């Protein structure tokens, strides 16, 4: 199964944004310049986050065998349990992982250790610890605005990935996907709008997706928390942009020590077309 996990998460997020609705609005409003700063930070951080998605999908699909695929499809009964010991160096553009990797060049080495547990009663778990190393220069090109983000070879990210499943029959089952990603500070070079930005990104991301069916009625819940801080220097000066996410209902944005929010994820999109995901 080669549909990326991020595709699922993005779809769930869209539903969550609408469900969050509009609540309190802070009197602070972003100027066009400040919105541009927030978008610059998003472009810079997007590459690191996409590499996490690519690594997660590669490990789930290639590193754990039938049991992980069974978990994603809620068909876990009778699958083989065992240890996971997986390492592969991959050219990102060679991976059949939807379209995001087509915007990358470079290679990464993905290492995963963990286990598959089948309790033989319709429940089980797949757990990994994953390390991603950039084994060459990695370049990401934003297909929308042409921004080019470059990272030299070095430490990528580490994260823990867990999939729990329970299945009674085709009408009653659940899957819980959890990922905790810690990104050590990464230095990037961003070429955008004829200027060059020297960037440092520091972030942590915790997300949980719960999909369940009860008597055939499907429910989906998405939870997100963490932070992302992006600092850079360019010909226009130095800036720091930080997102703090308590939940999708409580998100603040700090630009050069000025705090905006808290807003819900839906409010950030409605007011400023800024997506928190």
> In sequence order, which residues have a C-beta less than 8 Å from that of residue 194 and are 6 or more positions away?
none
Tell me, letter by letter, the H, E, C secondary structure of the chain: CCCCHHHHHHHHHHHHHHHHCCCCCCCCCCCHHHHHHHHHHHHHHHHHHHHHHHHHHHHHHHHCCHHHHHHHHCCCCCCCCEEEEEEEEEEHHHCCCCCHHHHEECEEEEEEEEEEEECCCCEEEEEEEEEEEECCCEEEECCCCCCEEEECCEEEEEEEEEEEEEEEECCEEEEEEEEEEEEEEEEEEEEECCEEEEEEEEEEEEEEEEEEEECCEEEEEEEEEEEEEEEEEECCEEEEEEEEEEECCEEEEEECCEEEEEECHHHHHHHHCCCCC
The Cα–Cα gap between 137 and 97 comes to 20
> In sequence order, which residues have a C-beta less than 8 Å from that of residue 33 and are 6 or more positions away?
none
CA 11 to chain CA mean position, Å: 13
Q: In the structure, what pLDDT confidence band is assigned to residue 97 with cuts at 50, 70 and 90?
A: very low
Q: Which of the residue ranges 77-86, 89-98, 198-207 has the most confident prediction, judged by mean pLDDT?
A: 198-207
At residue 2, the pLDDT reads 35
Residues 241-252: b if buried by 16+ CB within 10 A, e if exposed = bbbbbeebbbbb
At residue 60, the pLDDT reads 58
211-265 pLDDT, tens digit per residue, is 999 999 999 999 999 998 989 898 888 999 999 999 999 999 999 999 998 999 9
Enumerate the β-bridge partners of residue 255: 241, 258
At residue 57, the pLDDT reads 65
pLDDT at 65 > cutoff 80: no
Task: Dig out the tokens for 215 from the structure.
Answer: 């008597």
At residue 214, the pLDDT reads 93
Peptide bond into 143 cis (omega under 30): no
pTM of whole model > 0.75? no
At residue 246, the pLDDT reads 95
The Cα–Cα gap between 181 and 161 comes to 8
Q: In the structure, what pLDDT confidence band is assigned to residue 102 with cuts at 50, 70 and 90?
A: low
pLDDT: is 210 or 140 the higher one? 210
pLDDT: is 242 or 118 the higher one? 242
At residue 202, the pLDDT reads 86
Other beta carbons within 10 Å of 76: 29
Ordered by start, the domain boundaries in the chain are 5-21+34-242
Contact 246, 235 (CB under 8 A): no
164-195 pLDDT, tens digit per residue, is 888 888 899 998 988 887 767 788 888 888 88
Residues 83-106: b if buried by 16+ CB within 10 A, e if exposed = ebebeeebebeebebeebbebbbb
- For the chain, the straight-line distance linking the first and the last C-alpha, in angstroms and rounded, comes to 23
Residue 277: C-alpha distances to residues 16, 183, 264 (Å): 11, 16, 12
Give the residue-averaged pLDDT of 44-58: 66
At residue 247, the pLDDT reads 93
């Amino acid at each position: 199964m080669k549909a990326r996990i991020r595709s699922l998460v993005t779809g769930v997020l869209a539903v969550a944004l609408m469900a969050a609705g509009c609540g309190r609005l802070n009197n602070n409003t972003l100027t066009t310049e400040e919105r541009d700063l927030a978008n610059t930070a998003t472009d810079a951080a997007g590459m690191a986050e996409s590499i996490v998605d690519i690594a997660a999908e590669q490990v789930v699909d290639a590193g754990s065998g039938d049991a992980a695929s069974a978990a994603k499809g809620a068909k876990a009964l009778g699958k083989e349990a065992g240890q996971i010991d997986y390492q592969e160096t991959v050219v990102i553009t060679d991976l059949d992982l939807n379209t995001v990797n087509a915007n990358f060049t470079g290679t990464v080495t993905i290492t995963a250790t963990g286990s598959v547990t089948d309790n033989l009663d319709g429940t089980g778990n797949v757990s990994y610890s994953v390390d991603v190393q950039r084994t060459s220069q990695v370049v990401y090109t934003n297909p929308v605005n042409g921004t080019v983000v470059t990272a030299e070879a070095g430490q990528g990210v580490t994260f823990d990935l867990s999939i729990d499943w329970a299945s009674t029959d085709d009408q009653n089952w659940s899957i819980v996907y959890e990922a905790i990603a810690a990104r050590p500070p990464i230095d990037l070079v961003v070429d955008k709008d004829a200027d060059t930005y020297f960037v440092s990104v520091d972030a942590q991301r915790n997300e949980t997706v719960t999909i369940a069916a009860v008597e055939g009625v499907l429910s989906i819940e998405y939870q997100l928390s963490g932070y992302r801080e992006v600092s850079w220097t360019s010909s226009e000066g130095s800036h720091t942009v930080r997102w703090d996410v308590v939940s999708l209902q409580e998100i603040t944005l700090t630009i050069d020590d000025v705090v905006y929010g808290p807003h819900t994820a839906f409010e950030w999109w409605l007011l400023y077309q800024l997506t928190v995901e």
